[in-house]
Structure 1
Amino acid sequence: MYYTKFVNKILFGLCFFVLISQEHINAQIVIGTPNLGFSQACASDAFNTFSTTFVFSPESALNASNQFTVEMSDADGDFSNPTPVFTSNPGAVTVSPATLDFSLPTTTAGENYRIRIKSSAPAATSANSVAFAAYYKIQDDPFTINNLVSTAAFCSGGSYLLTIDNPGSGLNDSPLNYPSLTFNWFKETGPTTSVFIEEGPTLSVSEEGTYFVETNYGSCTSNSFSNRVTISEVISGEANAGIASSLGNPYCPGQGFTTLSTLGGNSYQWFKDGMVIPEATNQMYQTNESGTYAVQVDLGSCSAFGSIALVSELFEGSINVDDVNAIEAGDSLSVIVITNANNPEFEWYLNNTLITTATDDNYDATQFGSYRVVVSETTGCIASREFTFQINEAIDPFPDVENIPNVVSPNGDGINDTWVIPTAYVSGTNAEVIIMNNRGKILLKTDNYLNNWPESDLGLTSVNQVYYYVITTADNETKKGSITIVK
């Protein structure tokens, strides 16, 4: 009897253990098909968060270490090699229904992606979601083709190649810098309609029309599109060659040189204001000067010609003094800047040293030397202009000399360049001054002498020349003598 009871207890314990073990072995959940919180996933560096909601049952079957993973298929909806796009923390999701957020990989591009949900403990996989379009817009800015030239031409029977410009710059983020991207070319059929032509980074055009290209983001809208180019066929004669300015027209020279571009051809010659620009024989030409620019383009069996009136936005300005000025010691020269610059700033320099106290549009200069004023426009076209002027000490035309000199050296050194006589015989005294050569020919006769002889080249040779003077005062006093001219 005792033995039988003992065996029964052992058998009961074994059965209980098996039942408990079997319950854990058979624990599982069912995950419903994920619902999408979007109709298409169009991601970029500014936005890349999308959500999905799903149900699972029973909640009690989840292990404390369970993680839910959102997997994404390839562009054709195939899960042979799925991409995990989100995994929850262990035990973080315990209540059904659940919503998870995920982000697209930067290589995403296609119309038939799907997602599914997987759990880790217990392991389970949902059915696949509905298909959706998904693109990561790695480049989402306008870009240029044809160097931004708006027109192009090809000779009858030929073609014209449109190309996406590369490399990119601050003004042109070329999509060619992103190898994963593809491109669709279109031809306009109306003001707001177009027709797809073909895919690729270039397009060979043999029909007239207006063309453009867009980065292929499928059904997702984007800003990654090019400028329009109108292409014409030249049957005979000369076509119109458009010219584009990289900085626009008018352009701001404060941004540096602007690049003028024209349509592609076999050879080029640029002109400015009707004159040939030597060695300007490329498709592009850089300049920082206003003017009328033109280009002649050889297209093979025909040619093209274009022009542009390039205008600088640089402000106007001037100063009210001459390039060279003279004042006497202790005097001043009032200098005023006249300008239409927006919110101008002024810097004044004397002999290349900044005058820190001078910040207005006017300055009273009292020192002799070389001056410079820099005017800067601080809003709009940020640029500067400078104006220079010189102030010298004024020379007294009638210095008080004691004797009549008999030697003059007109060599331009500022010393003894002219015949300077005492103030008793100069202008205002009615004294008559006569100067003759050695043959008695009168070279100068005046009663208003200004201490300015000789005013012109006397044809001097290496031999010193002698001239003669006669000075007769108002009261008939006479002074005679010779003047030796030395080089």
Structure 2
Amino acid sequence: MKCRRPPTIFKAYQFLFLLLFLLAVNSLHAQFTINKPSLGFTKICANSTFNSFEVSFSFNPAGSLSASNQFILELSDGVGNFSTPIALSFTEKPNSATLSSRTFVFAVPITTGGENFRIRVRSTAPVATSPSSNAFAAYYKLQDTQFSINNFNQNATYCRGGSYVLTIDNPGTGTNDSPLKYPSLTFKWFKEPSLVPIATTPSLTVTAPGRYYVETNYGTCTSDSYSNRVIVSEASNTAAIVTSSKGNPFCPSEGPTTLSTQAGNTYQWFLNDVAIVGATSQNYNTTTAGNYTVRVDFGGCTFTGAINLVNVPFTSSLNVTGTTIIKEGETKQIVATTSANNPTFEWFLNGTLIPSATTNTFNATQEGNYSLTITQTTGCISKKEFPFEIRFPFVDPNVVLIPNIISPNNDGINDTWIIPQQYISGTNTSVVVLNARGEMVLNTTNYQNNWPEEQLDFKSVNPIYYYIITTQDNTIKKGSITVIR
């Protein structure tokens, strides 16, 4: 009779065999692992002048690499998928290798563009693959300069019920670097003020008025690859717009200015209501001032724009206007600012030339009626005159009452707080002025009827101040002062 092994013992052997097998497999796999790569950046914004980034990783056990081992650095697609990984070109960072870690310096391909790339590391001896890194945005900016749409024309018009097509210029004029020269690029169109893209194509069909522009899609990377803005209008609601390239007024001696209107189908320019022969383009160059009009056919509707083109030589200004009040013995520096070419300056006091004053600044110390004549000596030769007045504070010996209203508007009337002579300089009278918050704005025993010396705050319509006058014999006067414009 044969002796059979009990079933329970047989099952115990099976379980022991399976356990030993699993431990052996785990031991085999535990021999070498590559840990999750650590990124030396938060996002990749590469271009032709900068394309160098670092990634580090560790592995264990230390010193277990075969002499024939090769590391492979792989990049996912823009959504983190490794179904068709991209092998990255890299070098090992000098003096960074240890028995259990490496740091690689790599570059991304010029076709890179997306918000959720990942990196992983593979080894060949022993064979292992790391977990994928954290996700990151990565873009190679093939084109990173401003480009043009609508031939840099800032206005466009379409007829009611129609549309207008805005297109990225290719190649565009001058040094315009059109992003259409780079087929891998994508785009985002915007209608201001919204920051939500309305299209991603190289052109945009506009059916609603607004201000439009497009930028190259570099995601979260900052970029200079964007277009000029174009204001698109519906012709049924607006006339044609005319602009002058050299402004209006303009200077004919500097050469012609270019009159431009928005893009249409056909054009006809007029000067003082007379058609200009041959002026049938979107732009018209001229050095002649006058009333210009243009008739633009937008395809089914026609509108007219106009500009009264005038020539004026230059712009100038002074830091004073009208009447300026200064104390006797005080100096007021008058400064002229001008865009005139090679200007000359002539200063006059009461109609008499001041020979020594020949620069754009003049220190006025006397009362009187002044004027400055600025002459442009080259280009548009012409003159401009700027009159102004300097006055000392008015002291009326006949004032017997303390006024409660002043109007500091430099009109020479009631500009400062004029009080009776028994309280002003030389009487050793204390004069204190407080604002509505109780803050002291004046405290003197030598008052010269010159408050306020600086411009007051008109946040309220007519601010109110309070005064306290204390004479040498301790007589006190109190009241309010209302400041009006």
Q: TM-score, normalised by structure 2?
A: 0.51
Q: Counterparts of 1:6-155 in structure 2 under 5 Å?
A: 29-88=32-91, 93-155=97-159
Residue 196 of structure 1 deviates from its aligned partner by 2.3
The Cα of 1:255 is off from its aligned counterpart by 12
Aligned to 1:172: 176
2:226 pairs with 1:217? no
Residue 161 (structure 1) aligns with:
165
Counterpart of 2:202, as a letter, is P
Distance 1:155 1:126 in 2: 61
What are the ranges of 5 or more consecutive residues in structure 2 without an aligned counterpart? Answer: 1-27, 315-339, 343-378, 380-485
Shift of 1:39: 2.3
Find the counterpart in structure 1 of residue 475 from structure 2: none
Task: Please give the secondary structure, in 2, of the residue aligned with 1:197.
Answer: coil
Bigger mean CA deviation after superposition, 48-57 or 270-279: 270-279
Take 1:108 and 1:126, find their aligned partners in 2: how far apart are those partners? 22
Cα distance 1:257–1:141, how it changes in 2: closer, same or farther (>3 A)?
farther
C-alpha deviation, 1:305, in angstroms: 3.3
1:254–1:165: structure 2 CA closer, same or farther, 3 Å change rule?
Answer: farther
Name 1:240's counterpart in structure 2: 240
Shift of 1:164: 1.7
Contact 1:68 1:87 in 2 (8 A): no
Shift of 1:200: 0.9
Q: RMSD between aligned alpha carbons?
A: 4.0
Tell whether the 8 Å contact from 2:151 to 2:173 is kept in structure 1 after alignment. no
Give TM-score scaled by structure 1 length.
0.51
Does the CA contact (< 8 Å) of 2:157 and 2:264 recur in 1? no
Q: Within 5 A, what are the aligned runs for 1:376-415?
A: none
Aligned CA distance change for structure 1 residues 120 and 272 (closer, same or farther; 3 Å): farther
Q: How has the CA–CA distance of structure 1 residues 304 and 137 changed in structure 2, closer, same or farther, with 3 Å as cutoff?
A: farther
The alpha carbon displacement at 1:204 in A equals 1.4
The equivalent residue for 1:181 is 185
Aligned mates of 2:93, 2:196 — CA distance in 1:
52
Helix, strand or coil at the partner of 1:230 = strand
Report the CA distance between 1:89 and its aligned residue.
6.4
CA distance in 2, matches of 1:313, 1:135: 50
SS in 1 for 2:198: strand
Measured in 1, the distance between the counterparts of 2:260 and 2:79 equals 43
**Residue 138 (structure 1) shift:** 0.9
SS for the counterpart of 2:139 is strand
- Where 1:69 maps in the other structure, the secondary structure is strand
Please say if residues 37 and 57 of structure 2, whose CA atoms lie closer than 8 Å, have aligned partners that are also in contact: yes
**Contact map agreement 1:30 1:124 (CA 8 A) in 2:** yes
CA distance in 2, matches of 1:62, 1:254: 79
The whole-number CA distance in structure 2 between the counterparts of 1:84 and 1:253 is 63
Query: Aligned in 2, Cα 1:147/1:39: closer, same or farther, shift over 3 Å?
Result: same
* Offset at residue 274 of structure 1 (A): 6.1
Give the residue type in structure 2 aligned to 1:122: P
Shift of 1:156: 1.6
Inter-partner Cα distance in structure 1 for 2:241 and 2:85: 53
- The answer as to whether partners of 2:63 and 2:100 remain within 8 angstroms in 1 is no
Determine if the alignment matches structure 1 residue 297 to structure 2 residue 296. yes
Offset of residue 289 of structure 1: 4.9
Superposition deviation, residue 172 in structure 1: 2.5
- Secondary structure of 2:180 counterpart: helix
**Is the contact between residue 73 and residue 113 of structure 1 (CA under 8 Å) also seen in structure 2?**
yes
| Equivalent pair of 2:76/2:84 in contact (CA under 8 Å) | yes
How far does residue 58 in structure 1 lie from its aligned partner after superposition?
A: 2.3
Deviations along 1:177-205, one digit per CA (max 9) or x if unpaired, are: 2222121111113xxx4332122111111
Q: Indicate if the aligned counterparts of 1:28 and 1:124 stay in contact, CA closer than 8 A.
A: no
* Whole-angstrom distance in 1 between the partners of 2:252 and 2:132: 59
Q: Radius of gyration: which is bigger?
A: 1
- Compared CA separation, residues 90 and 258, structure 1 to 2 (3 A): same
Task: Give 1:310 shift.
Answer: 8.0
2-structure distance, mates of 1:88, 1:40 = 20
Q: How many residues align?
A: 292
Counterpart residue identity of residue 215, structure 2? E
Query: How far apart in 2 are the matches of 1:249 and 1:154?
Result: 26
Counterparts of 1:173 and 1:41, CA distance in 2 = 23
Structure-2 separation of matches of 1:182 and 1:124: 36
Q: Which residue of 1 aligns with 2:198?
A: 197
Give the superposition deviation at 1:88.
3.8
Deviation for aligned residue 1:169: 4.0
Q: How does 1:310-389 map to 2 (within 5 A)?
A: none
Tell me, in whole angstroms, the C-alpha distance in 2 between the residues paired with 1:80 and 1:256. Answer: 63
Higher mean alpha-carbon deviation, 27-36 vs 130-139, is at 27-36
Give deviations 1:420-449, integer Å, cap 9, x for gaps: xxxxxxxxxxxxxxxxxxxxxxxxxxxxxx
Provide the C-alpha distance between the structure 2 equivalents of 1:155 and 1:214, rounded to a whole number of angstroms. 27
SS at match of 2:63: helix
CA distance in 1, matches of 2:252, 2:122: 61
TM-superposed deviation, 1:260: 5.9
Determine the C-alpha separation between the residues in 1 that align with 2:233 and 2:64: 72
| Distance in 2 (alpha carbons) for counterparts of 1:65 and 1:314 | 80
Asked if residue 270 in structure 1 is aligned to residue 274 in structure 2, the reply is: no
- The verdict on how the C-alpha distance between 1:244 and 1:94 changes in structure 2, with shifts beyond 3 A counting, is farther
Deviation sequence 1:71-117 (CA, Å, 0-9, x none)? 11122322232222234469984443332221111111112211111
In structure 2, relative to structure 1, the CA distance for the partners of 1:65 and 1:160 (3 Å cut) is same
Distance 1:211 1:89, change over 3 A: closer
Asked if structure 2 preserves the Cα contact closer than 8 Å seen for 1:68 and 1:88, the reply is no
Against the structure 1 CA distance between its residues 288 and 97, is the aligned structure 2 distance closer, same or farther, given a 3 Å change threshold?
Answer: farther
**Per-residue deviation at 1:149?**
2.3
- Residues 306/56 of structure 1: CA separation in 2 closer, same or farther (3 Å cut): farther
